[in-house]
């Protein structure tokens, strides 16, 4: 058990460092380029979308490939792609280079997610999920904040910090104790040369009823990516520095909720987990829609803080629930497929968010649309969970 916990810490640290790179590039560097007129907003959105396209496409089959080539070669390939992506950006900021780098980074970030999720301990599922997603959020948020500050001070030279972070990631993988591994199946198609499409369909069918929750969450949140800077710095008239502090505080509250409040999830029944999920969906929906009617910064900030706290406990609850539906003998493949479905929502989100703002002529329309998606999820899962409870009582 102690050895497993130590290895789990390594997974979390490497996940943090990987998301640090992603946060710097996808959440800060690319969105900042239109503001300095390096590329247009449309091209920046295309590059961001490309990242999530390749992330989603890779996750769909990576779990099967990992079993065939092993952990060592999987991580080696991921780091080669990561170094190549950030190295390309060092030498050129042309759109085509940025697009290719986004795609390569989308592939490179996938393996560590599958390793971490597949090694969650069933006895501490809520706590472990909270820790994994705290590592994800902390990496993304820290990467974005650091890059925002660095861009403000040194401009284009900020690209050097990204390659430095990749080097730190590689050193962490090499020198932090613990060996990554992939569980091997006994038979069951593991020796086939082709990707086992039949197995993939079995896993997909198992998670069919949760596809709306998996994809639409990512879609709803992803819609805010291209419009959030405009909403905060434009409509609310905050400076870029104040925007960064705003996001940092919200991310900190989400992280606190994920690591501290989510610990109680393992002590309560599945009924509590289901209630947490539905409540979290509703608070997000109501809060984001409410934003569209407000222009007072401190009220928006307080609502955002409350959304952050609720979302921070909802996300581990959601993933604890999902983990309970995963086939134990197919953890890598199952989490790969789930991550792929999430990635599909995330890659569509920025495009839908940008188009919604353009069509209706206001970023507030995107806020309302994002909130409505979560309202639909609230209703869907209340109905589904009530049916499950009713069926369980009558059985």
DSSP state for residue 236 in the 8-state scheme: S
pTM for this model (two decimals): 0.75
Residue bearing tokens 């992280």: 255
Retrieve residue 226's tokens. 């291209």
**Contact predicate 11/116, CB 8 Å:** yes
Whether domain 2-178+197-394 has CATH 1.20.1250.20? yes
pLDDT on residue 138: 86
pLDDT tens for 224-276 read: 877 777 777 777 777 767 777 887 888 788 888 877 766 667 666 778 889 99
Q: What is the Cα–Cα distance from 157 to 254, expressed in whole angstroms? A: 31
Reply yes or no on whether the pLDDT at 376 is more than 90.
yes
pLDDT on residue 346: 79
**Contact predicate 110/59, CB 8 Å:** yes
Reply yes or no on whether the pLDDT at 79 is more than 70.
yes
Reply yes or no on whether the pLDDT at 6 is more than 80.
no
Reply yes or no on whether the pLDDT at 143 is more than 60.
yes
What proportion of the chain, given as a percentage, has pLDDT over 70?
90
Q: Which residues contact 355 (CB under 8 A, 6 or more apart)?
A: none
Q: Supply the Cα-derived Rg of the chain in whole angstroms.
A: 20
pLDDT tens for 159-191 read: 889 999 999 999 999 998 888 877 655 444 444
Average pLDDT, integer, range 364-376: 94
Retrieve residue 387's tokens. 């049916």
Retrieve residue 128's tokens. 């472990």
What proportion of the chain, given as a percentage, has pLDDT over 90?
28
pLDDT on residue 183: 66
Q: What is the Cα–Cα distance from 290 to 282, expressed in whole angstroms? A: 12
Average pLDDT, integer, range 281-288: 94
Q: Phi/psi class of residue 20: alpha, beta or left (left: φ > 0; alpha: ψ in -120 to 50)?
A: alpha
């Amino acid at each position: 058990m102690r050895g497993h916990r130590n290895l789990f810490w390594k997974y979390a640290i490497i996940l943090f460092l990987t998301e640090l790179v992603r946060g710097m590039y996808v959440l800060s560097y690319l969105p900042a380029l239109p503001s300095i007129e390096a590329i247009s907003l449309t091209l920046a959105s295309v590059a961001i979308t490309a990242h999530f396209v390749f992330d989603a496409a890779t996750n769909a089959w990576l779990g099967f490939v990992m079993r065939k080539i092993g952990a060592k070669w999987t991580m080696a390939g991921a780091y080669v792609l990561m170094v190549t992506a950030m190295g390309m950006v060092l030498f050129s900021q042309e759109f085509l280079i940025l697009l290719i780098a986004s795609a390569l980074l989308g592939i490179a970030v996938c393996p560590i997610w599958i390793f971490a999720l597949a090694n969650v301990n069933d006895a501490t599922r809520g706590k472990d999920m909270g820790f994994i997603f705290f590592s994800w959020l902390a990496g993304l948020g820290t990467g974005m904040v650091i890059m925002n500050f660095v861009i403000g001070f040194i401009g284009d030279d900020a690209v050097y910090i990204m390659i430095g972070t990749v080097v730190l990631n590689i050193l962490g993988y090499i020198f932090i104790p613990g060996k990554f591994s992939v569980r091997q199946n006994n038979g069951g198609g593991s020796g086939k040369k082709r990707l086992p499409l039949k197995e993939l369909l079995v896993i997909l069918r198992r998670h069919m009823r949760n596809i709306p929750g998996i994809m639409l969450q990512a879609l709803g949140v992803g819609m805010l990516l291209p419009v959030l800077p405009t909403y905060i710095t434009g409509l609310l008239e905050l400076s870029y520095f104040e925007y960064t502090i705003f996001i940092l505080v919200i991310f900190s509250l989400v992280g606190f909720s994920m690591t501290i409040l989510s610990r109680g999830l393992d002590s309560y029944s599945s009924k509590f987990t289901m209630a947490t999920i539905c409540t979290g969906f509703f608070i997000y929906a109501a809060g984001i829609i409410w934003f569209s009617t407000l222009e007072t910064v401190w009220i928006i900030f307080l609502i955002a803080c409350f959304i952050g706290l609720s979302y921070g406990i909802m996300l581990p609850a959601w993933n604890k629930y999902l983990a309970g539906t995963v086939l134990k003998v197919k953890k890598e493949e199952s989490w790969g497929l789930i991550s792929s479905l999430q990635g599909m929502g995330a890659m569509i989100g920025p495009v839908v968010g940008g188009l919604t703002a353009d069509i209706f002529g206001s970023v507030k329309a995107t806020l309302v649309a994002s909130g409505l998606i979560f309202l639909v999820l609230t209703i869907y899962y209340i109905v589904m969970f009530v049916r499950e409870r009713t069926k369980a009582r009558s059985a």
